[in-house]
Structure 1
Amino acid sequence: MGKNEERTDIPGLADVEAYYEDRGNGHFRSSIHAQGAWNEREQHMGPASGILAHCLAQHEPREDMRIARISFEILGMIPGGDFEVVTSTIRPGRTIELIQAEFVAGGRVAIRAQAWRLITSDTSSISAIEDPSIPPRDECVVWNGSDVWPGGFIRSIDSVHASTHRPGRGTAWIRPTVPLIDGVDSPDWVRLIGVADATNGIATRVAPGPDSWIFPNVDLQIHMYREPAGEWLGIDNSVSFGADGIGLTSSIFHDEDGPFGRAEQILTLRKGPGQS
């Protein structure tokens, strides 16, 4: 089977045109669209981040607060199929709260997400952003991520990138083409979080594969100084590889109105199994 051919014979996946089927009471089932790039039987961290962000947003929400930072720790393989999300409040407060969501599959926590929810107020008189702008989408060219990466999730993304794009440094716009949850209209920021993990594959320093290198991230840290809106996530992306097997993917995130936050992913660098 070619690396970009879709597997439809993997048991236990939801038959929906969305990343997830909501099975009630915090239980979900992933579809082929959530399939990962490193292993055909696992979920990609992208939509998994989105479903955790969705559950965090639903956890005891307050109109006077919003999530400003989410930290995702990837604790192991994220299996496709059925799973549960368990939410809790770690640190309650009047103006600052720390909340948590755990992705549980097969009795094991695969991802732990913690989010700072902060009080909002009118600070428009002193607002200022130092992050630079990026080229708009209409100045970019279509990029097919499936030419580089396998898996159902990558096939579910529309993407374009700037003409200055190169290995290790690039600018791209991406968007999901299916809903996060079947029959649910998710907030814009939740849907954008659901593709944020794809930043590690936007401007790879080396082509991934068994005869090259693998460089999965073990975390995803997202800070948002403004709540984003719209369908498209703009990414100003850079990738650094250290000399001792550890790397870092760093991104400035944008929507149509400009920059809104940053993301970091620490990487473990390993030779592919085809290398001697």
Structure 2
Amino acid sequence: MTSAFFTWTGAEFAPAPHARSPWSPDMLHGRLLGGLAARALEEVYGDPGMQFARLTVDLFRNSPMLPITVDTELVRDGRRIRVADATIRTEQGVIGRAGAVLLRKGEQPGGDRLVTPAWDESPPDGPPPADGAWTPPFDLWRLTEWGERGRRRVWMRENRPLVDGEDVSPFVRAALAADFASPLSGMDSGGLQFINADYTLTLARLPEGEVIGMDATGHLSAEGVAAGQCTVHDAAGPVGYCVVTAIANPTAINRPPARG
């Protein structure tokens, strides 16, 4: 693991130079905002007896390379459900928000039901191949080509801490990977023509291990508005889903940035 994206100063998260977005050298990487929100929500409201079942991250304003603060608020705390929000800020104001739903774990019911099958892709063996056109700030194994028709698949692995001195938890790992659902589902032969405004990650269980697989299973668009979806996997099988909404990008990007 190399140096972290952020250092905690005691009051805010100071970004390292490599926290910048591929969209602009003066912009923070959007996926990291979702990671910081997930980290804060887990730190305050995480409970071994409850499952983070949903995380929605709204990325409604580009963030400059400035220190970040994340404030959390408990919305509802019941016997079986807990709801909490996070607000992401810089000195220039609010740049994003997130909402999480935690559900109480319990006895698994019996019976037959529709189950998403495990995909037929083995976990990566060895380092990711070099890609001179675009080097993401995480390990990436492309299992399909970006612009090919049909489903697109990747394995991903974080290769540095989000915050200095901290391990990346399974929940934060999933939140960081989820942002990639936008470029993975929305990329076509003309490039990345939609930029995402949010993403919603749903989890039946937390991912195990360091690698997360993303399987783009659908994309729809009309009049410049799009929706995309991915199934999220770990080495043992599917763990949840990610849905993104996006708006037409005036200038298509030929290679997918990490923030869709």
Partner of 1:116: 101
Amino acid at match of 1:115: A
Alpha-carbon distance change, 126 to 34 in structure 1, aligned in 2, over 3 angstroms: farther
8 A Cα contact 2:161 2:167, kept in partner: yes
8 A Cα contact 2:217 2:231, kept in partner: no
When structure 1 is superposed on structure 2, of 69-78 and 116-125 the one drifting more is 116-125
Distance in 2 of aligned mates of 1:264 and 1:235? 12
**Higher relative contact order by CA 8 Å / sep ≥ 6: 1 or 2?**
2
Amino acid at match of 1:24: G
CA offset digits 1:160-204 (Å, max 9, x no partner): 122577256301101111111110123122123223212222351
Distance in 1 of aligned mates of 2:235 and 2:94? 35
Amino acid at match of 2:196: N
Matched, 1:195 2:180: no
Structure 1 residue 29, shift from structure 2 partner: 1.3
Structure 1 residue 247, shift from structure 2 partner: 1.5
Matched, 1:17 2:3: yes
Partner of 1:29: 14
Matched, 1:256 2:235: yes
Report SS of the residue matched to 2:25. coil
CA offset digits 1:35-75 (Å, max 9, x no partner): 21222211222121111101000114333222110011112
Partner of 1:62: 47
1:129-140 maps to which residues of 2 (within 5 A)? 130-134=115-119, 135-138=121-124
Consecutive unaligned residues in structure 1, runs of 5 or more = 1-15
> TM-score with structure 2 length normalisation?
0.85
> TM-score with structure 1 length normalisation?
0.80
Matched, 1:267 2:250: no
Structure 1 residue 140, shift from structure 2 partner: 11
8 A Cα contact 1:192 1:232, kept in partner: no
Report SS of the residue matched to 2:179. helix
Distance in 2 of aligned mates of 1:157 and 1:207? 24
Matched, 1:219 2:167: no
Distance in 2 of aligned mates of 1:230 and 1:273? 34
Distance in 2 of aligned mates of 1:268 and 1:98? 28
Report SS of the residue matched to 2:36. helix
Displaced runs of 4 or more, over 4 A: 124-129, 138-146
When structure 1 is superposed on structure 2, of 74-83 and 224-233 the one drifting more is 74-83
